Structure 1
């Protein structure tokens, strides 16, 4: 499903952003057709980079949900998303990710043109859809990848090795799932307040 690949894309870009914020170097970002992905980093603060995938996806979902409450904010969010896709297109190491970038840039451009030139006002709804999808898939992926089945190479398992805490990977998955759920609830609550 192409929209699920966008969620994987935002997950991996969140790892890359965390790496850059902690003075690391992003060597590559890959998205695979089987809805998996990897971000290769060097340096940076690992305990900040590892949870950034799931939590970053939830955070960006919340931002997009809130941006959808206002047309100007939705335009800015769509523009930022398109610029990010262009940058990642040139950083991509595989064609699956490049095709996702091309497809969603075209999708956003068409939505924007329809928004500005016709009576079809869909840009806010597209931004809302992408935001909700990211928030929901983040919570779902945390449950599927980290809690219900134990994947030994998951971000949470690696985080449990790095963080000197008695929590194992499942414990970190529960904590990250709770935080992601709070992001989703916060986005819905603030969105309803803004719209009321």
Structure 2
């Protein structure tokens, strides 16, 4: 006796009709096309990816070459401010209190905290700055997104300024950064702002990687966040540094992929949209 073929589930028994099959195929095809479209890199995004690659190379060179590495000093201080803000935010989020934030001209910083969970606050500096970098890199794919990101960054800077108001370098760094962002709003309907936000995002994403290499491989600093974390929770500082670096790179990669998927507009479309969203022009 031949096997019985079960009926096709649906409104009626039996196999699907030709129109039903056509609708199913159309739905599946449209979903596949949508997925391909979201991950397709257009001309504007190719330019952005090229700029990101150029930023990575330029930062890598300027980070290590004597004398000319001071070109990056203002941006290093800015990223260090992100780093310290990550410590401070994690401290507050885990029930602690931030006493002060200070930045060191020799490219250092310290956040004085009381309470909070060290297991969260210690890695929050590197991971927090890399997460901010990934979000800024994501926003750097679009002019309007860069405008929104600059507002959020400005608010975070004001919080950092409140905690670091007694340190002149912190105040000067924060005010200079806010001034740079505000000034870029007035250049070609904030088109310049996108490239500044993108640079700060790339710099912040890679800061943890290069700084960990400096502290734990080249100089072997015993007072780094990773070494303190290893002393309290086990493992080696190099191991935790590598883990945090890998997480930072994953954040950056996720920001790039998300930017490609979320912002398919051409350069002309971005400029037109920017003229209608908090319009400014110098």
Within a 5 Å distance, the mapping from 1:174-189 to structure 2 comes to 174-189=242-257
Supply the distance in 2 between the matched residues of 1:149 and 1:177 (Cα, whole angstroms): 17
Does 2:82 match 1:10?
yes
Match of 2:115 among 43, 47, 50: 43
* Equivalent pair of 2:227/2:237 in contact (CA under 8 Å): yes
Instruction: Summarize deviations over 1:138-160 as a string: whole Å, max 9, x none.
Output: 21112211344321111011111
Counterpart for residue 185 of structure 2: 112
Counterpart for residue 129 of structure 1: 199
CA RMSD of aligned residues (A): 1.6
Alignment length (residue pairs):
191
Match of 1:71 among 140, 143, 156: 143
SS of the equivalent of 1:122 reads helix
Q: Cα distance, 1:68 vs. partner?
A: 1.7
Supply the distance in 2 between the matched residues of 1:157 and 1:110 (Cα, whole angstroms): 40
Instruction: Summarize deviations over 1:142-189 as a string: whole Å, max 9, x none.
Output: 2211344321111011111221x3x11111111111111211222223
SS of the equivalent of 1:28 reads strand
Supply the distance in 2 between the matched residues of 1:8 and 1:132 (Cα, whole angstroms): 14
Supply the distance in 1 between the matched residues of 2:78 and 2:258 (Cα, whole angstroms): 24
Does 2:167 match 1:97?
no
Q: Cα distance, 1:39 vs. partner?
A: 0.6
Scaled by the length of structure 2, the TM-score of the pair is 0.64
Q: Cα distance, 1:24 vs. partner?
A: 0.6
Does 2:192 match 1:192?
no
Q: Cα distance, 1:115 vs. partner?
A: 4.5
Supply the distance in 2 between the matched residues of 1:145 and 1:72 (Cα, whole angstroms): 37
Q: Cα distance, 1:36 vs. partner?
A: 0.5
* Equivalent pair of 1:115/1:123 in contact (CA under 8 Å): no
Match of 1:168 among 229, 233, 236: 236
Structure 1 or 2, whichever has the larger Rg, is 2
Does 2:89 match 1:22?
no
